[in-house]
Structure 1
Amino acid sequence: MDQALTPPGVAVAVRDLRLALPHGGDRPNAVDGVSFDLLAGEILCLVGESGSGKSMCAHALMGLLPKAVTVAGGSIRLGQTDLLAQDAAGWRDTRGRRIAMVFQEPMTALNPLMRIGDQMAEMFEAHGLLTPRERRARAVALAREVGLPDPEGIVRAYPHQLSGGQRQRAMIAMALALEPAILVADEPTTALDVTTQAQILKLIRDLQRRRNMAVLFITHDFGVVTDIADRVLVLRQGRVVEEGPAAAVLGAPREAYTQALLAAVPAMNPPARPAPDGPKTIEVAGLSKTYVTGGGWWRAPRTVAAARDVSFALRRGETLGLVGESGSGKSSVARLVMRLIEPDLGTVRLGDTDLTRLNGEGLRQARSRIQMVFQDPFASLNPRRTVGQIITDGPVAHGVSRFDAMERAVRLLALVGLDARALERFPHEFSGGQRQRIGIARALALEPEVLVADEAVSALDVSVQAQVLTLLEDLKARFGLSMLFITHDLRVAAQICDRIAVMRRGEIVELKTAAELFANPEHPYTRDLLAAVPGRARDAA
């Protein structure tokens, strides 16, 4: 058999792939001797922790490696073509036509200045296919195929006018435009809520079967792997640790690393927790906020109720979870509680203080008692300031001496598992999990009574996520913190929350202890959310 051809039934053959990191990296190769076959008509999941090399493999298949990463050896064969030996013209012909990619964050992958239909039509134009009229008709047909509502209207819309799930469907439509044989999906559902995630996973599976595509699916979510994978390839520090049919790898993993990854996945059975009986630290009553957008000479303004008569109390030492789909209002409530946005109605009491009545210096002083940990620590940490400056700025602004603030920063870094050498480094020098630990240290520097965590672990892989959740639990017990925990991941909510409030369209539709909510959900919306959690079948087994 001609060794230059991929074997029969194999869509892509990767052999001894080695991708070199620049000098000074944490290891010589991002990918070190990886070999695998992606079979025609199958879904192969690449899984592993952040930095395992799974996304680098995907980008190598697309010829989209960062400039600092170089191919040090190996081959990627697609039919008679070694993709790694192609020139720029060869890659232009390959991308979209033979192999296409769906990225993790469609808002950054889509052009914000172009209508959705024009971006779909651009695929045909780049390859010299179809007339302008035919391109427009094909864009509408693609929008319809991926289940977008009102396809004729969607193709005239801009990306910001679509929801997250709709933007991801548009990205999938663009990837399928030229009917490629291979689809690479790099964490395409990580940022989506559970119901939208379930819809996108079903869409990818249905399209894959309908078109008999090969799909390389990159994810750190083992629930997703359970629902979608035919085979699984586990990577660790650039090397293959384990490979096999999904049922075998998930049900009886051979390697200790795979076993540890699976053990880190939060279970759907909340642990028994004593009911917090401390004093109320936060009391929210009748909180409402309506956004008014658009409008003009010919259009009425659009109103969106981000919060409708929201009421709850948070006790000392308690973690209250806010869960719901994107757009349910949970992050808006967190920002209302922090006074980052102004409520239309209602009150937020922090102990005896009504935060909604404070302004100026009074509000600034009160904010030292309630601090926030954001979803993306890279975006919320100033890249031009050292970790030491980032952690000490808050205390210094509230009258703590620079010396005392730095001593406090050293203690906090030790508490979150980092040593004092981190003080002189910048955020980009840390991993995602380490940056989130720095964000937690910054939030604790003002010794707050309440911590608001807004999707604080949603972007982390399962092992780092487990470490951060354990850290938050330990810190809460150590300092007697109350925590308002916003998440779309019900597995995470089950593990860390004492009580859970389910939000839908700005309203709390159900509020119970975590154990009661998972054992006996009463509202139909809560039952739908729980049913949509990926990997439920594996939990039941």
Structure 2
Amino acid sequence: MSDISPKTPPVLSIENLTLALPALADRAHAVEGVTLAIAPGETLCVVGESGSGKSMIAHAVMGLLPKAVKPAGGAIRLAGRDLLSLDEEAMQDVRGREIGMIFQEPMTSLNPVMRVADQIIETFDAHGLHGASERRARAIALLTEVGLPDPPRLAKAYPHELSGGQRQRVMIAMALALEPKLLIADEPTTALDVTTQAQILKLLDNLRHKHGTAVLFITHDMGVVAEIADRIAVLEKGVLVEEGTADQVLGAPRHAYTQKLLAAVPSLVPPVRPALPESPPVLSVEGLGKIYRKRSFFGTAREVRAAEDISFALVRGETLGLVGESGSGKSTVGRCCLRLIEPNSGRIVLSGQGSGDLVLSDLGPSALRQHRKRIQMVFQDPFASLNPRQTVGRIISDGPVAHGVARVTALMKARELLELVGLSANAVDRYPHEFSGGQRQRIGIARALALEPDVLVADEAVSALDVSVQAQILSLIKDIQSRLGLAILFVTHDLRVAAQICDRIAVMQRGRIVETGPTAALFAAPQHEYTRQLLAAVPGGGRFGH
């Protein structure tokens, strides 16, 4: 935490900022009357649900507001200069030189056809700084400062050849290239696993102390807030409802909305779950293996064992959590279970329909289509996984229709399923873009349930959602499971979520299961060093129920 004097002049001062939305929006203002300030070396976390206006503030500071959103009042002052009064040419000089920005998804923010060093060099080039050799040396020095291994080698790599954490470090290096007064971090750790997240947060904290940089950190993750914030500003529907030091806001929140956000943070302490009755497994995975063959940017071929000798069983009504870092192989295992990825070895067996065991891994394409309805998937991104050109009713009913159900009957079932997942039956006639992220995920769950599966594979199904929406979806999944007796394979990098929903946990590291056991026992006394590292890396673990 920072020990900034209250008399220190602010780097950034936002005064009574109001941003107007277009006429047909769900409210008049994206942000209304917001006043904030950040001192040198201080981290201010702006928190709130999706749609609260927190990213709009960041885009207003950068001069990157959508065309439909207009400043309607107030001022944004950077070291005393009002940014809202500057033209585009002047703002281009401010960006990078005085304000750096780290975006949420580095893969979409980095140029996929440019080498890493060249993207940093481009920042110097845009501002006419340094000669060619000095620019390259400075780029490699920045890659070294953000903790990347073998910077001269990685400088020649393309973004797709780096891990998510490495790409985010490159984004941080680019943001710091011109030593800006202000660093804006917009959800920079949301897509990262806990250990990588912890490394990035520590890196940002070290860099802002070293350079005296003011940090505007935008996030919906209260664990991250507890780890990094000096002060916290809470936004609800564009209005600043609470502001204070991290200890004040997290320890004694005054506003009901802040209290609701904190109450929704899943605890690391698993709830008491009733014992499941003894029953034969509905899904058995035996010795599953998957090898990817990749070619590096040096042209050498290598094998990546994404899954090796994976075995587990799921009984009716049980939730098994597959947890681990990015690249541990957990999503590969989930997709192999559905044959969305073809495994190289092992058996996947479905049981429980009176006709003996079905070896899913042995089925040809035609037989697989017939039996795939028994195991369905809920995907991570609820927008990308729904066809934007089809109505919700069509999206949910297409699966049953493909298996011989009449469209009229399938649409009636779709209406029932929408009500089951907490939406109106009338939603059948609407399109995905008309729904929020949490509502779209409910539609994804309804689609998966339309085929009445025995097994549901949920692949990071709540990782993109706000904590309050996340809590609603987790509650919905548990409720549906208890009603329908589903077996669920729950793939996640979020140990808090795993603690709340999983009966058992299997911890994956580098393609192997290194530890498995009942959730409460595993969290209370992890046996493997890797499991202990994962639990220790959970941000804000001490404050939110470690």
TM-score by length of 2: 0.96
- Over 3 Å counting, the alpha-carbon distance change for 1:302 and 1:533 in structure 2 is same
Equivalent residues in 2 for 1:102-501 (5 A)? 102-276=102-276, 277-294=278-295, 299-351=299-351, 352-501=357-506
**2:131, 2:402 → 1: CA distance?**
62
Whether the aligned pair in 2 keeps the contact of 1:270 and 1:514 (CA below 8 Å) is yes
AA aligned to 1:115 is R
Whether the aligned pair in 2 keeps the contact of 1:234 and 1:243 (CA below 8 Å) is yes
* 1:88 shift after superposition: 0.8
User: Tell me, which stretches of 5 or more residues in structure 1 are unaligned?
Assistant: 1-6
Query: Counterpart in 2 of 1:69?
Result: 69
Query: Counterpart in 2 of 1:4?
Result: none
**1:17, 1:114 → 2: CA distance?**
37
Whether the aligned pair in 1 keeps the contact of 2:169 and 2:200 (CA below 8 Å) is yes
* 1:295 shift after superposition: 6.8
Whether the aligned pair in 2 keeps the contact of 1:43 and 1:215 (CA below 8 Å) is yes
Query: Counterpart in 1 of 2:354?
Result: none
**2:79, 2:222 → 1: CA distance?**
31
- SS of match in other structure, 1:189: coil
Query: Counterpart in 2 of 1:516?
Result: 521
AA aligned to 1:137 is A
Deviations 1:324-379 (A, max 9, x none): 00000000000110100111110000111000111122101111011000000111
Whether the aligned pair in 2 keeps the contact of 1:278 and 1:317 (CA below 8 Å) is no
- SS of match in other structure, 2:543: helix
Whether the aligned pair in 1 keeps the contact of 2:374 and 2:451 (CA below 8 Å) is yes
Whether the aligned pair in 2 keeps the contact of 1:106 and 1:171 (CA below 8 Å) is yes
% identity of equivalent residues:
65
AA aligned to 1:84 is L
**1:148, 1:274 → 2: CA distance?**
46
* 1:62 shift after superposition: 0.6
AA aligned to 2:386 is L
Deviations 1:388-441 (A, max 9, x none): 110111111111111111111111111111112211111111111111011001
- SS of match in other structure, 1:22: coil
Query: Counterpart in 2 of 1:20?
Result: 20
AA aligned to 2:273 is R
**1:248, 1:179 → 2: CA distance?**
31
Whether the aligned pair in 2 keeps the contact of 1:371 and 1:450 (CA below 8 Å) is yes
Greater alpha carbon shift after TM alignment, 101-110 vs 267-276:
267-276
Pairing partner for 1:526 from 510, 516, 531: 531
**1:302, 1:348 → 2: CA distance?**
27
Equivalent residues in 2 for 1:6-17 (5 A)? 9-17=9-17
Greater alpha carbon shift after TM alignment, 409-418 vs 487-496:
409-418
AA aligned to 1:93 is D
* 1:22 shift after superposition: 1.6
- SS of match in other structure, 1:536: coil
AA aligned to 1:384 is R
TM-score by length of 1: 0.97
- Over 3 Å counting, the alpha-carbon distance change for 1:518 and 1:135 in structure 2 is same
User: Tell me, which stretches of 5 or more residues in structure 2 are unaligned?
Assistant: 1-6, 352-356
AA aligned to 2:208 is Q
Equivalent residues in 2 for 1:83-98 (5 A)? 83-98=83-98
AA aligned to 1:105 is E
**1:9, 1:279 → 2: CA distance?**
67
**1:399, 1:183 → 2: CA distance?**
56
- Over 3 Å counting, the alpha-carbon distance change for 1:444 and 1:261 in structure 2 is same
Whether the aligned pair in 2 keeps the contact of 1:18 and 1:74 (CA below 8 Å) is yes
The ranges of structure 1 where at least 4 consecutive aligned residues each deviate by more than 2 angstroms after the TM superposition are 274-279
Greater alpha carbon shift after TM alignment, 282-291 vs 359-368:
359-368
Whether the aligned pair in 1 keeps the contact of 2:13 and 2:77 (CA below 8 Å) is yes
* 1:78 shift after superposition: 1.1
* 1:294 shift after superposition: 1.1
- SS of match in other structure, 1:15: strand
